Structures are given as C-alpha cells and as structure tokens.
Amino acid sequence: MNQSNEHDLQDHLRIKIDFNHMMSDQMGSQHGITLDEIDDLAETSKEIHSDLKNKREKGELPFLDLPYNREYIAEINEISYTIRKNFDNFVVLGIGGSALGGIAIQGALTNPFHNMLSKKERKGIPRVFFADNIDPDGFQRLLDFLDLKKTAFNVISKSGETAETMAQFLIVRERLIQLFGRDAYKKHIVITTDLKKGWLREIVNQEGFASLIVPQGVGGRFSVLSSVGLLPAAVMGVSIEELLAGAELMDRLCRSESLWENPAYMTAVLKYIACTKKGKAISIVMPYVDALKGVADWYCQIWAESLGKKFSLDNNVINAGQTPVRALGVTDQHSQLQLYIEGPFDKVITFIVVENYEKEVFIPPAYKDLEGVTYLGGHYLNELIKAEKVATELALKKNQRLNLTITLPTLDAFTLGQLFFFFELQTVFSGALYHIDPLNQPGVEQGKQFTYGLMGRKGFEDKKKDAQDSARKNKRYII
C-alpha cells in the first residue's frame, strides 16, 4: 500500500467542511440556503462534473493532475540540495501566481522567524525571500541586505515576459555579472518557466541557466503544486511528497458527481447561490491560524482572478465574480467583525481552523480577587482562540450572517496540499457555475499591454497612444 492510500484510510487526517451556517434551517429563510436551492443545481452540477472529467481526460486541465506528476521531483530535490549546500539566501523573483503559492507554503509550514535565526539555528536552510513587488525602495533594500555571494535567485515566470519579474531579473543579473563575471554568475540563478515559449526560455537556451518547467497549460494561480511552488518548498525543507499526497487525497475525495459527496463542488454551489441569489458579493476567508494568512492571500488571488470576468462563455456581458477578502482570527474580530455582524448583508465567511495547534500555551492563574482577569488563569491560549472562534460564529449566526468552517486536523504539508487542491477545484467548478472561463485573465493582460506600451516595448506603440489618450485628466479634479 502506498503512502497516500494509507492516509486515505485515516479519516482523522482529512480536512472537514461544516456548512451548517449556510443553511436556511440554521440561519433563517431570508439569507440561508434551502435544500431545494441546492437540489436545483444538482443536474447542472452533474453536467459540469462530466464536462470537467472529459476536459481532464483530454489533458485540458493539467493542474488537476499535478499531484500525480512526480517526474520533476528528483530534479527539484537535486536543485534544492545544491541551493541549500551553497547559499545562505534564496530569493524568488516572481509575481501573482508565480509568488503567492510559495509565500503561502512559507507562511504555513516554516517558522515565521526563520530568516532571523543564525545559520546554525537554521540548520542548513537558507533564508527565504519573495520579491513580488517592484517598489524601488523595497527591492533596493532587499538587495542591500543580501550578501550576493551567498544568494541564489529563482526567477519564476510562466509567460517569461512579465515586466516586473523581467526587470528584477535584469537588475539582479547585472549585479551578479559585475561581482562574479559572465560565467560564474549563472550559478546564482535558477529559472522556472515554460518548456518552449517565452523570452525567459530563450534566455535559458542562450545562457544555459539551471531551469525547471511550468507544465504546459498550468496557469500561474493554479501552479502551486508544480515546480513553481515546489522548488521554494523544497528549499525551505518542506516535504513536497507530502504536499502532493495531500492534494492527491483531496482529488480522490472530490471524484463524485454528487454534491453531497464532493466537498469542493458543494462549497462552490453554496457560495454561488449565496452570491447570485442572496446578494453575498463578498467572500471573506478568515483563518484562526497566523500561519494561514498567506493561504488566505493565495485564495484571494485564485478567487478574484479566476471568477472576476466580464464575458460569459457565450460572450454575453455578465461582469461575474465575488470579491475575496482576507481576514485573520482573532485579530480582525477587533477590526472587521463589527462590519461583518451589523453591516450590509453582502458577505459569506469561510473560517479555517486547526484541531490541534503545534504548541500549547498555558495561561497562569493570578489575581484571584479580580473576576475580570482571574477566569483566564488555568486555561490555555488554545482554548481561548477556539472559544473566540465559536463565539464569533455564534454572533454571526444570531445575525443571520452566512459562514462555513474548514477544519484541518493539524497544519502540515499533507493538510496544506489538501487545502490547495480543494480551493483549486472549488474555483474551477465555480467558474463553470458562473459560465465563465476561470483559467484566463484578459483584464490583467490588458494592463500588462498598456505597461509594455508606456515602457516603449516594440510592437505596442498603439497601446502607448491609447494609454496616453485615456490617461488625460481634468485638472479641476485634482485639489
């Protein structure tokens, strides 16, 4: 029996979804979802299931097969071994889907203070940075901080031409060449890009950098389980085999066409009904786990960029989408929750909790005579955070605010792999419900093309003119 089959049999290793607080019998008929409303989508869901299955069989949804795509693992492990052996710093240059998965893995599975530890305390694992912005101050400060002799860069770009990533690459390349010369500098760079297409692949072919492949047809925001997320994960010391095994388990848990047996489909349907029938245009994801903040950001990208579309598949203007928002429990109970409980009825909240935190922190008893303080003593922070989550959920329920809860038994590579796959499938299924293409991003491309025009890229002169014309402003409105 292989490792993932063993996991399969152990129900307690699975993430679980509780959607009681989405349903009308719990939340009231005005906002809650009825069984009939779910049933109304049962047939459509079966059709979507069969369509996705066909597309998958034809190789049109290759990201769904990433959990089984083990052919790159040896290469990834080998490159990560070399990086860990030779360098103290590892910097990812990439943006959007080329960075958010790695950031999510780093946040979820590594010590948040790792980069501050001494080399000995880091036990051979380099400091890891994600440079996913081009703020000149931010980027320059990072470069000033790094000892380039001890730094490896992973340039990640599926298209191989994203302006931000290419600009970062050019800056870093020049510095490395000045320091180490035209040959030796190459040892500091690993490139992750398409096998054949794009300027970055052309550069790899010309200069012979170490490189990894973003598999054909796997878009940025669906690429966390490819070499895009897996090389940074391996460098950080995360078990990529466990990440993939978790994703594989979730894939197998989501093979049924029945909504009641398919957590990704059921939650997609619930959020779809909430959005289109109950006016919940905002999808908040609120982990009660610091380490899952990055996953919440990753979710925000996949949900926004995949579902926010002007045109339906049959070319009607529908302006679909549900705005994702990241919140953090308990921190945002003292910032956002007031709005969630008493503001407009336009939100659905997905909580993410863990059954078992890694640490237990005891609250010592003290101030016996002060009843407003003494009740805490003798408990654990673990109990307090769980009580606060339940209390928040109940306050939301009392005010008919829809919410559901995803529970991870523990936070580790195996459960994180499940979570990634769960959200990816939920997103693609939702795309089909909205009748849009969740895999493209024409709006982002439009912005990219204006940038090319404004920066003087050949072939984009019309974009430059268009951008300059549209950018004309009325001085009256600038005060």
* Catalytic center residues: 305, 334, 448
Is position 219 an interface residue for ligand PA5 (rule: CB under 6 A)?
yes
Strands (E), 305-391: 309-311, 317-320, 323-326, 347-356
CA atoms of 111 and 157, how far apart (whole Å):
27
Provide, rounded to whole angstroms, the least separation between the CB of residue 303 and ligand PA5.
12
CA atoms of 201 and 193, how far apart (whole Å):
6
Site for ligand PA5 in 165-184 (CB under 6 A): 165
Q: Select 351 or 421, whichever has its Cβ closest to ligand PA5.
A: 421
Binding ligand PA5 (rule: CB under 6 A), the pick from 21, 122, 221, 278 is 221
Q: Select 438 or 453, whichever has its Cβ closest to ligand PA5.
A: 438
Q: 47 to each of 58, 65, 259, 438, how far by Cα in Å?
A: 17, 21, 12, 17
Provide, rounded to whole angstroms, the least separation between the CB of residue 80 and ligand PA5.
20
- Coil vs helix vs strand at 448: helix
Chain centroid, CA 61 distance in Å: 18
Site for ligand PA5 in 426-455 (CB under 6 A): 441, 444
Provide, rounded to whole angstroms, the least separation between the CB of residue 92 and ligand PA5.
11
3-state SS, one letter per residue, for 194-257: ECCCCHHHHHHHHHCCEEEEECCCCCHHHCCCCHHHHHHHHHCCCCHHHHHHHHHHHHHHCCCC
Provide, rounded to whole angstroms, the least separation between the CB of residue 299 and ligand PA5.
13
Binding ligand PA5 (rule: CB under 6 A), the pick from 38, 63, 72, 96 is 96
Binding ligand PA5 (rule: CB under 6 A), the pick from 106, 154, 159, 426 is 159
Q: Select 28 or 443, whichever has its Cβ closest to ligand PA5.
A: 443
Q: Select 4 or 98, whichever has its Cβ closest to ligand PA5.
A: 98
- The region of 74-82, 145-153, 156-164, 379-387 touching ligand PA5 under the rule CB under 6 A is 156-164
Q: 30 to each of 20, 211, 279, 396, how far by Cα in Å?
A: 15, 54, 11, 15
Binding ligand PA5 (rule: CB under 6 A), the pick from 27, 93, 95, 109 is 95
Provide, rounded to whole angstroms, the least separation between the CB of residue 17 and ligand PA5.
25
Provide, rounded to whole angstroms, the least separation between the CB of residue 165 and ligand PA5.
5
Q: Select 333 or 441, whichever has its Cβ closest to ligand PA5.
A: 441
CA atoms of 176 and 169, how far apart (whole Å):
10
Is position 45 an interface residue for ligand PA5 (rule: CB under 6 A)?
no
Strands 309-311 and 210-214: unpaired
- Distant-in-sequence, close-in-space partners of 86: CB < 8 Å, separation ≥ 6: 152, 187
Q: Select 301 or 336, whichever has its Cβ closest to ligand PA5.
A: 301
Number of residues binding to ligand PA5, judged by CB under 6 A: 15
Q: Select 45 or 301, whichever has its Cβ closest to ligand PA5.
A: 301
User: 193 and 171 in contact (C-beta within 8 Å)?
Assistant: no
Is position 162 an interface residue for ligand PA5 (rule: CB under 6 A)?
yes
Binding ligand PA5 (rule: CB under 6 A), the pick from 49, 158, 188, 326 is 158
**383: which DSSP letter?**
H
- Distant-in-sequence, close-in-space partners of 429: CB < 8 Å, separation ≥ 6: 45, 48, 52, 264, 265, 268
Which of 34, 426, 61, 40 is CA-nearest to residue 265?
Answer: 426
Binding ligand PA5 (rule: CB under 6 A), the pick from 305, 393, 412, 424 is 305
Is position 97 an interface residue for ligand PA5 (rule: CB under 6 A)?
yes
Which residue has the closest beta carbon to ligand PA5?
220
User: 222 and 424 in contact (C-beta within 8 Å)?
Assistant: yes
Query: Which residues lie near ligand PA5 (CB under 6 A)?
Result: 95-98, 157-159, 162, 165, 219-221, 305, 441, 444
